[in-house]
Amino acid sequence: MGSGKTTLARAVYRSRKIKNHFESRCAWVTISKEFNKSDVLQNLLKQVGDSKDSVDLTTNELETRLLECLNGKNYLIVLDDVQSDKMWEGLRSVFLDSRNGSTLLLITTSVSPMGYVSPPNCIHEVKKLSEKYSWSLFMKKAGWDTWEEGREHQDLKQRVLKVCCGLPLNTVLLGSMLSTEGDTNRFDYLQKILCRNWKTKDIVSVSYTNLPDHLKLCVLYLVLFPKEYDIPVRRLFRLWLSEGFVNLKPGKFPEDVVQENFDYLVKQSLIQISKFRSDGSPRRCRLLGVLHDYLLPKAQNIRLFHVHCSTCSTEDSFPLNVRRLVEHASSKNIYSDASRFKHLRSYLSFNFQRKDTPAKEVGILLSRVITKGFGLLRVLDLEGVYKPSLPENLGDLFHLRYLGLRWTFLDALPSSVGDLPYLETLDVKHTNINNLPTSIWKSKKLRHLNLSHIRLDMPKHSDTNSLPTLLTLWGLSVDDDSPVKNGLDRLRNLREAGITFCLKNCDHLLNWISNLTSLQSLRLRSINDIGHPSHFGDESLSLSSLSNLSHLNLLGKLPNLPDLPEGLKVVTLSLSNLTEDP
């Protein structure tokens, strides 16, 4: 545990050269303790073959289809956390040795399952770190450049090496615990935390228990995501906010406080960044499998959430008064007793195996919750669920703060969504929704609005203080019929804006943008009537007044290089027609 097996395997698996060699027939499946063969087979089919209608297939039918997909193909498949011979025995029949260079990689804490892999095979036992490397890694994570040679310091060094036991995770966690302490306190703090009879697994425990209470909740919340799941940082931040896990600070935006909390947990190595943006900022993150295993019982003990999976599909296994329901499997037959959901605050679904049939079960749950007057829901996160059914009276969920519908391919929203008085996040990116109800302009709490190239039509006689708290407006489409002057230009507090425009005259639009002094990220795309890149006008584009701008992406023809602010970190100019390299 914590020797770096999964980290090493993932580094190999993510190599573009490796994936190209295997013709993109690559799959990674993390096997949960509640092993279910059908779930594993469906997951594999989704990554390497045809998963259409797979939800309705028996285990034998799934196995047959997967064999057909893999037959004769050159594939790389990783099965992570194979914990027993029984697990492997249940899966081995799918992976016939076609002797064509295909590779099956099992990651396990026990050598036993490896003995059942058909030869030729290779067992790679990850060795512990040498004392020299372990100490170097610890010093780096702790933020120390030098270490004194006195006896007291040398004795403490040996205690550190003994506790870390050559395991990368222990070394990283212990060093990271010191990294947030002041220079003068680090040595004393290290002595304090090492003055006990340590066991190897204690470092994971101490790194969690030493956190402030509100950060413990933030870390425990990550456990509701599937194990080893790559979590969009954008999604995590907004969920933390909507769940009320942020201790607000005077004079600071809640989003900035969330960023501070996240950065602290990353520095403590409790959250791992799994994907970066071009400027080095985090795009996706994850909780390491070892930490997931340790924290899951703690989250369950305080009943932070209930995970509904394929191995607990009956109502008898469903707890009363659940506050957060996390769905990892089909939710049929669990909603007949609506009284079970009268305290429901959050519903998150990761059940996206089916991509051809709308998810009607969501509508059943919401309708029963609303009908019974149990409308306490704050979070409704359906990202990736195919066309979930939403009731027309969705607006009766009075307390709803987060509505995540990204990648659902929904065709329309209930008109009552504009009546949600506390809605903070509405994300309909990558859907087929082409308009929002005009009542959305009445929202007084909306902070983040992610669209899928949608126009916003402002009603006549609308409030001059429309959407006063809006910080993110992404995926907006603007044309000659869009209200810019005395319309969109009322939105003055934006920090992120992504706009595609098709205008005969873009002066009003560019003037509005140049006055968004809080803007940090801006994407502007100019297109013509048939969607091809167009021009930004004849005048030079001036953005020098946007002193907080760090990310700029422009697509379209520019008369010359824009006047840019000094603090920019990333600038992307696409199809600009500029003849000189800026």
Does one domain contain both 40 and 104? yes
How far apart CA 339 and CA 44 sit, in angstroms, is: 37
Does one domain contain both 268 and 235? yes
Tell how strand 103-107 and strand 306-308 pair up. Answer: unpaired
Does one domain contain both 15 and 103? yes
Does one domain contain both 25 and 75? yes
* Domain final residue pick, 167, 184, 209: 209
How far apart CA 34 and CA 37 sit, in angstroms, is: 10
Does one domain contain both 201 and 252? no
The answer to whether position 88 is within a domain reads yes
Distances (CA, A) of 186 to 189, 247, 269, 569: 5, 26, 17, 33
The domain tally of the chain equals: 3
Please report, in tens digits, the pLDDT of each residue of the chain (582 residues total): 678 888 888 888 888 888 888 875 888 888 877 777 888 888 888 888 766 666 677 888 888 888 888 887 888 888 888 877 777 777 877 877 667 778 888 888 765 655 555 555 677 778 888 999 999 999 999 888 888 777 878 888 888 888 888 889 999 999 998 888 776 677 788 888 777 767 666 888 889 998 999 999 999 999 999 888 999 999 999 999 999 998 888 989 999 999 999 999 999 999 999 999 877 889 999 998 889 989 999 998 998 988 877 655 555 456 667 889 888 765 555 555 667 778 889 999 887 655 666 777 788 778 877 877 667 899 999 998 888 889 888 999 999 999 999 999 999 999 899 889 999 999 999 999 988 888 888 888 999 999 999 988 776 555 557 788 999 999 999 998 888 887 888 899 999 999 999 998 888 899 999 999 999 999 999 999 998 999 887 777 889 899 999 999 999 998 888 888 988 989 999 998 887 776
The answer to whether position 126 is within a domain reads no
Does one domain contain both 204 and 222? no
The answer to whether position 44 is within a domain reads yes
Nearest to 140 by CA among 175, 166, 187: 175
Does one domain contain both 233 and 277? yes
For the chain, first and last CA: distance in Å?
51
Kindly report the CA angle at 152 between 148 and 158, in degrees rounded to 5?
85
Residue 579 burial (10 A CB sphere; 0-12, 13-18, 19+) = exposed
Does one domain contain both 109 and 15? yes
The answer to whether position 554 is within a domain reads no
The answer to whether position 229 is within a domain reads yes
Are 524 and 555 in contact by the 8 Å Cβ rule? The answer is: yes
Does one domain contain both 203 and 242? no
Count Cβ atoms below 10 Å from residue 496 Cβ, excluding itself: 20
Tell me the three-class secondary structure of 108-157, residue by residue: CCCCHHHHHCCCCCCCCCCCCCCHHHHHHHHHHHHCCCCCCCCHHHHHHH
How far apart CA 270 and CA 446 sit, in angstroms, is: 31
Domain range enclosing 18: 5-116
Does one domain contain both 224 and 185? no
Are 467 and 492 in contact by the 8 Å Cβ rule? The answer is: no
Residue 93 burial (10 A CB sphere; 0-12, 13-18, 19+) = exposed
The answer to whether position 422 is within a domain reads no
Count Cβ atoms below 10 Å from residue 386 Cβ, excluding itself: 18
Looking at residue 108, its pLDDT comes to: 82
Count Cβ atoms below 10 Å from residue 520 Cβ, excluding itself: 17
The answer to whether position 541 is within a domain reads no
Question: Looking up tokens 């302009």, which residue turns up?
Answer: 441
Instruction: Record the tokens describing residue 78, joined without a space.
Output: 């990783």
How far apart CA 500 and CA 477 sit, in angstroms, is: 5
Does one domain contain both 152 and 186? yes
Q: Is the pTM of this model over 0.85?
A: yes
Q: Side chain identity at 183, as an amino acid letter?
A: D
Residue 138 burial (10 A CB sphere; 0-12, 13-18, 19+) = buried
The answer to whether position 506 is within a domain reads no
Does one domain contain both 96 and 152? no
Q: Which CATH number belongs to the domain containing residue 253 in this structure?
A: 1.10.10.10
Instruction: Report helix angle 59-70 to 37-48, nearest 10.
Output: 30
Looking at residue 275, its pLDDT comes to: 92
Looking at residue 156, its pLDDT comes to: 85
* Domain final residue pick, 273, 296, 319: 296
Per DSSP, the residues of 254-319 read: HHHHHHHHHHHHHHTTSSEEEEE-TTS-EEEEE--HHHHHHHHHHHHHTT--EEE-GGG-SGGGSP
Q: Side chain identity at 364, as an amino acid letter?
A: I
Question: Looking up tokens 């931040």, which residue turns up?
Answer: 237
* Domain final residue pick, 149, 184, 209: 209
* Residue 400: partners with Cβ closer than 8 Å, 6 or more residues away: 377, 378, 379, 380, 394, 420, 422, 423
Kindly report the CA angle at 379 between 377 and 380, in degrees rounded to 5?
95
How far apart CA 364 and CA 409 sit, in angstroms, is: 19
Residue 280 burial (10 A CB sphere; 0-12, 13-18, 19+) = exposed
